[in-house]
Copies of this chain bind each other. A is one copy, B any other.
Amino acid sequence: MGNDKKIEVVLAIDIGGSLTKIGLVSCDGQILDKKVFQTEAKRPFSDFLEKLRFEVKDIIQKNDTTLNILSIGVGAPNANPYTGQIESPPNLKWGKTTPIVKIFKDNFKLPVALANDANAAALGEMLFGAAIGMKNFVTLTLGTGLGSGIIVDGKLLIGEHGAAGEIGHVNVDPYGRMCNCGLQGCLETYASVTGIKRTVFELMAEMREDSPLRSLSFTEMTGVDISNAAVKNDKIALKAFELTGKILGSKMADTVAHLDIEAFILSGGLSKAGDILIHPVKQHMEQYLFGAYKGKVKVLLATATSSDAVLGPAALAWLTFKP
């Protein structure tokens, strides 16, 4: 069977701190095959590469008769699109720099595009998800931390050094919470799964109300525990969402004052709470919005990348290497 009859796809690779996902994705966002494996981020990069080579070879062989792979898109933490490297990732023990683009090109003999995972997610929403047809928007991934991707005039904002879109590290309070990045009071210490957990622990100290959350240790408690409690009208959980939404909403107003965007697209564990989060976010964002923007900025949930992370790097590959 010739290449003419095969479906054209890209190979999308999402490298996460715990899991790596690979998928074969068509230009309309169909995931035609996929694999997931442990990144084992504490072992050397050579071990990861060996495993990746095995999985990629396997998925290619399985689909060789029906699919034609055009290029590779990679999303990874601390990825720099200018250098093609992953640079000083706190959660991957692979050394200071890993030249992903070069290594993947050499190994897989295909064009390779690399982006920060949160930036790739923005492209995924634009091509396949909640932001189809939009030209100016921001994605916020509210997970362990707060990742962001900025689309301006239909293009990913990359910045001077390849590191634009670190909205998780705007300052909420100079005397606020200690952040993993070494700064104090960063937005992600409040508006993320970890952030709301910290807020719940503050509230358990301040408030007197009983709550099922009081029976969980800091280590045990998950974002789902907090969402579930909020759904059942738990006062501490609801207050935590209110405070989180207030801080996040007010800072989103600052983002609009820079970028004049059409929408925010929220994803990640914290966004799964839906309206319990979105209601206070919208209310406080509106309150702080400059007049020219009032009533004009949507707050939506992600669709594509929240269902499968490979759709971010897949969009990157499709957009970078237009057939």
Contacts and interface: CB of A to CB of B under 8 A. Distances in A.
Interface of A: 135-136, 150, 152-153, 155, 157-167, 169-171, 174, 181-183, 186, 250, 253-255, 257-262, 288, 290-293, 296
Contacts of A157: 152-153, 259
A184 to B, nearest CB: 9
Nearest to A166: B257
20 contacts: A153-B155, A153-B157, A153-B158, A157-B259, A158-B260, A159-B260, A160-B262, A160-B296, A161-B296, A163-B260, A164-B259, A165-B258, A166-B260, A167-B258, A169-B257, A170-B253, A171-B250, A171-B288, A174-B250, A182-B291
A4 to B, nearest CB: 37
A78 to B, nearest CB: 8
A234 to B, nearest CB: 26
Identical copies in the complex:
2
B159 A259 contact: yes
Q: Which of A182, A254, A296 has the most CB of B within 10 A?
A: A254
Contacts of A155: 153
Contacts of A261: 159-160
A162 B164 CA distance: 21
Nearest to A162: B260
A82 to B, nearest CB: 11
A260 B171 contact: no
A255 B288 CA distance: 17
Contact of A181 (B164, B170, B181, B290): B290
A166 B290 contact: yes
A167 B174 CA distance: 19
A8 B298 CA distance: 45
Contacts of A255: 258
